[in-house]
Amino acid sequence: MSKLAILGGPKTVESTPRKYRSMGAAEKQAVAEVMDSDCLSGFYGSWGDEFLGGPRVKAFEDAWAKRFGARHAVSMNSATSGLVAAMGAMGLGPGDEVIVPPYTMSATAMAPLAYGGIPVFADIEDETFCLDVEAVKAAIGPRTRAIIAVNLFGHPARLHALRALADARGLILVEDNAQAILAQEDGKYTGCIGHIGVFSLNYHKHIHTGEGGVCLTEDDDLALRLQMIRNHAENVVEPLKLDNIASLVGFNYRLGELAAAIGTVQLANADTHISRRIAIAERLSAGLKDLEGITVPAVREGCTHAYYVWSARYEEKVAGVSRETFSKALDAEGFPHFTGYVRPLYRLPVFQRRIGFGNSGFPFTLTNRRYEGDLCPVAERLYRSELLCFETCMYDLTDAELDQFIAAVRKVHAGRAELTPTDLSRV
């Protein structure tokens, strides 16, 4: 084995990987057709044919509903908008609690705040990094209204178990499926197991429209309320003769025709884009699964993984070198990766200082819930010392290039004893 690059040896990966390009001629053609039509958005914010959007938005939603076998697909201009609209659609009110994981993109936990709701953090499993069902059960209280389960990094949370729990306790289960399009649990697509599933189409996702999102639901009432909140709900409660107008204050979360046209093409090719990610991830796992101290991504029985990222667990005590030292050595070998993902969200100032909207502290003035200490030990551990993610799935890689990446990790692992001993007493 050659000397580690960090110690002056040769670098294993010399070339910078190219980002995979999912936009092709069909997307260009779809955009050109929208330009020729001169209609870049078909929405009107009052009741009528155009309340539900223009022709491309409607075609996009139809395609999405068909692909997932869902009754309703409601497009949004982002998953963040979809999550907020989901909170409004279920009628969340000030002081109502929503159970969320702390280990996710911040939008998951911000969505309840938009309606004065209170996020309550439940810990995650260290196998899949998704919500721990027992922790969710323990977090349920008299004010709990909903659970937001995140299918993190492309792997399903325990969705059927959470749905059964939600149904038994009269709660709404929202799936934040921003990272897991076309993943499955027990033969059902993620995003279709909760009462509402929210997808993201931002630039970093498996398929994208620049920005964008979609909510799926089987429930007619929830679908209508999502459509209303997306498009100035307050203007249509009268023509629709709606009696219950709670939380029907609207926003502009509308998707444009250009994005919808691109999204329809992207969706048609989604299986190809995702199979490519799965192939990369599986080759990486096969090449690294025997390394002591590194646990390659688990795929729970009955599940398929969509590999938003390839997320491994690194155990410092077993490997004998801290994750940060190992990571620096990987950097030197030219292997693109990141560690830790996000600081558990309850560490954000909004929770630590309990200040949401205005200076008085709303909505935290409505609750005794506190966000102090290591609330969720598994998430803390993953953040501080265990999570090691490879961005490999987002690159356009030949098998030979991928094998160089595998060689880089194996080289650092084999030579780790030469790295400066690190104090692991904090683990």
Ligand X SMILES: Cc1ncc(COP(=O)(O)O)c(C=O)c1O
What is the contact surface with ligand X in residues (CB under 6 A)? Answer: 78-80, 104-105, 107-108, 150, 176, 178-179, 200, 202, 213
Sign for the CA dihedral angle at 256, 258, 261, 266 comes to negative
User: Of 148 and 228, which CB lies nearer to ligand X in the complex structure?
Assistant: 148
H or E element at residue 172 = strand 172-176
User: Of 305 and 411, which CB lies nearer to ligand X in the complex structure?
Assistant: 305
User: Of 344 and 415, which CB lies nearer to ligand X in the complex structure?
Assistant: 344
What residues pair up with 252 in beta bridges, in sequence order? 231
Counting Cα atoms < 13 Å in the Cβ hemisphere of 317 gives 4
Q: Edge-to-edge strands of the sheet including 213-217? A: 72-76, 213-217, 196-200, 172-176, 144-150, 97-100, 118-121
User: Of 86 and 332, which CB lies nearer to ligand X in the complex structure?
Assistant: 86
CB of residue 105 vs ligand X: minimum separation in angstroms? 3
- The dihedrals phi and psi of 72, each to the nearest 5 degrees, come to -135, 135
- The dihedrals phi and psi of 252, each to the nearest 5 degrees, come to -115, 95
User: Of 107 and 321, which CB lies nearer to ligand X in the complex structure?
Assistant: 107
Distance CA 318, CA 69 (A): 45
- The dihedrals phi and psi of 329, each to the nearest 5 degrees, come to -65, -35
CB of residue 107 vs ligand X: minimum separation in angstroms? 4
User: Of 104 and 217, which CB lies nearer to ligand X in the complex structure?
Assistant: 104
Distance CA 26, CA 24 (A): 6
CB of residue 205 vs ligand X: minimum separation in angstroms? 7
CB of residue 315 vs ligand X: minimum separation in angstroms? 25
CB of residue 204 vs ligand X: minimum separation in angstroms? 6
CB of residue 213 vs ligand X: minimum separation in angstroms? 5
User: Of 108 and 190, which CB lies nearer to ligand X in the complex structure?
Assistant: 108
Q: Residue 111: which of 237, 247, 307, 216 has the closest Cα? A: 247
Distance CA 82, CA 263 (A): 16
Distance CA 304, CA 188 (A): 10
CB of residue 232 vs ligand X: minimum separation in angstroms? 20
